Amino acid sequence: MDSKSVRHYLSLLQMDPAYPATSIDCEICDSNNKLTLLSCVQGPHDSQVELPVMGCRQCGHIYQSYRFSGQFYQDYYDKFYRLNLFGDSEPEKSFFLDQIKRGDYLYKSLAAWLPEKGQLIDVGCSAGGLMIPFAKRGWRVKGNDPDVAYAHYGKTLGLNIDTVSAEEMETDEPADLIIINGSLEHVYDVNKVLEKCRLMASEQGLLLIEGRALGHGMQQGYLTHNHRRFLTPQSIELLMIKHGWTPFLTTEEPLCGPTRPGAVFVLARATQVDDTAFETLCATGRDRLEQVYRPWFDAVVNA
């Protein structure tokens, strides 16, 4: 991604052209053995932007080849993300009501593994509606999100939301359940976020991660610039194992209801790092990349 492409992309976002972008290796296994799956993705206003999507030949992780500075992501999600995506920086009531419905679906989907009451942390909670069904059932709930307007919306309704990035969230409250619904594909430093989640996990604590960017993109026939990585079941499991979690449920069943198609969910329990399981899953991930995902990318490129 040359400087001209960077400036073009930032101009489409109506952001300062001075943010730097650097090429990165795989965020999961640190390998620099990668292949280009797409050279361009869909940017703002249906434009094509040069943000190459790579596939790691070592573990199968799919991610944007270039990373902007941390300040870029802070500014983007604080000031530009919702405006570019929805045309409005304030959440609509229908959006918040859908969050509540998805939270109710989620509680019922996870009920078999949940304690009667506990502490929920919603990482990247947006307006926080997913937490309400848990709070109504006696859970203590807390969320965080860098989007000032959406976090403020939830705060005005009495929800406990910190307006910070996931990398800067506090870890002083032991969590019985941590949920990251879609937002892990947006964060600047995915490893730091998972490290913080493990630090705040209670004994036998649970972590649920939803990945949606790739599955939904495959349904639409294109990928968008908003996602820094495109999580597969294997890449979610690898991130969990790397940071001390044991996945025990991986499913494409809509645990949060029908309004967000294309999602995959992985539920894990806090444990110890398992290097053997990590290496075994790397082999599965790279096989899936070659056998399942690469043919789809090839079809998109040749369409």
Residue ranges covered by each domain of the chain: 3-87+298-302, 93-278
Looking at residue 85, its pLDDT comes to 55
From the options 2.20.25, 3.30.1330, 2.60.40, 2.30.30, give the CATH code of 3-87+298-302: 2.20.25
Tokens of 99: 């969050």
The residues of the chain scoring below 50 in pLDDT are none
Looking at residue 1, its pLDDT comes to 67
Looking at residue 84, its pLDDT comes to 58
Looking at residue 302, its pLDDT comes to 85
CATH H-level superfamily of 93-278 = Vaccinia Virus protein VP39 (3.40.50.150)
Q: What's the pTM value of the predicted model, to 2 decimals?
A: 0.95
User: How far apart, in whole angstroms, are the C-alpha atoms of residue 176 and residue 173?
Assistant: 10
Q: What is the pLDDT of residues 165-188, one digit of tens each?
A: 999 999 998 999 999 999 999 999
Looking at residue 83, its pLDDT comes to 60
Tokens of 128: 């926080």
Looking at residue 62, its pLDDT comes to 98
Establish how many alpha carbons lie within 13 A of residue 247's alpha carbon, considering only the half-sphere containing its beta carbon.
22
Q: Kindly give, in sequence order, each residue whose CB lies less than 8 Å from that of residue 87, ignoring residues fewer than 6 positions away.
A: none
Looking at residue 6, its pLDDT comes to 86
Same CATH topology for 3-87+298-302 and 93-278: the answer is no
8 A C-beta contact, residue 29 and residue 56: yes
276 phi/psi in degrees, rounded to 5: -65, -45
8 A C-beta contact, residue 143 and residue 122: yes
Q: Kindly give, in sequence order, each residue whose CB lies less than 8 Å from that of residue 33, ignoring residues fewer than 6 positions away.
A: 56, 57, 58
Q: Which residues pair with 249 in a beta bridge?
A: 267
Q: What is the pLDDT of residues 199-231, one digit of tens each?
A: 999 999 999 999 999 999 999 999 999 899 999
Q: Kindly give, in sequence order, each residue whose CB lies less than 8 Å from that of residue 215, ignoring residues fewer than 6 positions away.
A: 252, 261, 262, 263, 264
User: How far apart, in whole angstroms, are the C-alpha atoms of residue 91 and residue 133?
Assistant: 19
Looking at residue 86, its pLDDT comes to 54
Looking at residue 90, its pLDDT comes to 76
